[in-house]
């Protein structure tokens, strides 16, 4: 697998990472533990060195899963996790909390679950409006100085927040949604990251599976599946948005690739410091996604996608309002 650097930090990772959330969180039932461990270890065998989790996935169970799966590969892989939530005694999320003392307690828990002495990349999962970002960055800086964290990251933060945090402690990476059907980061975020030398880690690079072509208006989602609640995944909007999938399918057919591979190749072609983290629960999809690094789109093909996509208006909000404000998605 090709390697990339996340911005100017010197953090080397595989060109594609693996988002592990769906193995424990956001779907109808968690993946069987043995299957999930086998899938994560298969990713390592295929050259993936970058794995993404968070304390809120489960909650807590996904970090424990990733920690157990990757324990034999210490020093060979990069694990990213996230803080930002307050939990009740039953482990349910009750709100945001990025106070410095809470961050330090969260990191202690993550270190134990991940079975590591140092967290490679620690993100603030969502910006906490009650805590100045300078205080958050200062707390993480202290954790870096203590050897508990190597790199600092933000998730779904705006340009000014990124600048303010970066002025206190260098931000290595921003994780936010970005794909052919959600291109908002192109307006302010990508130019800011390029200016500051910060890497970009797109989550949902396949549009939560939609860009693979495997989902249409007839697909049914379990009530526990996050997509069941997302406006963009209503049957009507799925039908309207199929035009984007058809665009990818046409190019994929010419290239002997899949729609998902073309969608990932498009992301990889945008900037050399972009590292998508597609998630999957299926070994065959893992193989398919990782093969996308071998699909090199030409300038003419990229222009073709750009011209066609400019005529397509994606229908439906990416989240309902209450989830747009929430953390951990």
- The count of structural domains within the chain is 1
Domain around 9: 3-208+270-295
Residue 161 CB partners (closer than 8 Å, separation 6+): 127, 133, 154
Does residue 1 register a pLDDT over 70?
yes
Distance (Å, whole) CA 61 – CA 25: 9
**Residue 251 covered by a domain:** no
How many alpha carbons fall within 13 Å on the CB side of residue 11? Answer: 30
Specify if 183 maps to a domain.
Answer: yes
| Residue at 60 is within a domain | yes
In a domain, 187, yes or no: yes
Give the range among 190-199, 267-276, 292-301, 319-328 with minimum mean pLDDT.
319-328
Q: Report if residue 164 sits inside a domain.
A: yes
Distance between CA 215 and CA 211 in Å, rounded?
Answer: 8
Query: DSSP secondary structure string, 266-327?
Result: HHHHH-TTB----B-S-HHHHHHHHGGGG----HHHHHHHHHHHHT----S-SS-HHHHSSS
Please identify which residue in the block is written with the tokens 């939530």.
85
pLDDT in tens, 233-280: 999 999 999 999 999 999 999 999 999 999 999 999 999 999 999 999
CATH code for the domain in which residue 150 is found: 3.20.20.100
Cβ-based neighbours of 310, under 8 Å, separated by 6 or more = none
Residue 112 lies in a domain: yes
Query: Averaged over 109-136, what is the pLDDT?
Result: 98
**Sign of the four-CA dihedral 292, 295, 299, 302:** negative
Q: Is 319 a catalytic residue?
A: no
């Amino acid at each position: 697998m090709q390697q990339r650097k996340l911005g100017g930090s010197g953090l080397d990772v595989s060109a594609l990472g693996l988002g592990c959330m769906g193995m424990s969180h956001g779907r109808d039932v968690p993946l069987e533990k043995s299957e999930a461990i086998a899938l994560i270890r298969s990713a390592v065998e295929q050259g993936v060195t970058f794995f993404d989790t968070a304390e809120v996935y489960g909650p807590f169970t996904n970090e424990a899963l990733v920690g157990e799966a990757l324990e034999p590969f210490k020093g060979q892989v990069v694990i990213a996790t996230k803080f930002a939530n307050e939990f009740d005694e039953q482990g349910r999320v009750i709100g945001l909390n990025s106070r410095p003392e809470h961050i330090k307690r969260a990191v202690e828990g993550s270190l134990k679950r991940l079975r590591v002495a140092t967290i490679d990349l620690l993100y603030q999962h969502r910006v906490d409006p009650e805590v100045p970002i300078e205080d958050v960055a200062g707390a993480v800086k202290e954790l870096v100085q203590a050897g508990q964290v190597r790199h600092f990251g933000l998730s779904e933060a705006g340009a000014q927040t990124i600048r303010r945090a970066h002025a206190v402690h260098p931000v290595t990476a921003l994780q936010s949604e970005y794909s052919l059907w959600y291109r908002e980061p192109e307006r302010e975020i990508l130019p800011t990251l390029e200016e500051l030398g910060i890497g970009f880690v797109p989550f949902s690079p396949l549009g939560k599976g939609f860009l693979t072509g495997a989902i249409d208006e007839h697909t049914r989602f379990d009530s526990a599946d996050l997509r069941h609640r997302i406006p963009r995944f209503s049957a009507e909007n799925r039908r309207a948005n199929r035009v984007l999938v058809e665009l990818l399918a046409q190019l994929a057919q010419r290239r002997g690739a899949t729609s998902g591979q073309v969608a990932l190749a498009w992301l990889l072609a945008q900037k050399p410091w972009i590292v998508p983290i597609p998630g999957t629960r299926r070994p065959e999809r893992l193989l398919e996604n990782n093969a996308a690094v071998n699909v090199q789109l030409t300038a003419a093909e990229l222009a073709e996608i750009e011209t066609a996509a400019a005529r397509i208006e994606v229908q439906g909000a990416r989240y309902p309002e209450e989830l747009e404000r929430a953390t951990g998605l």
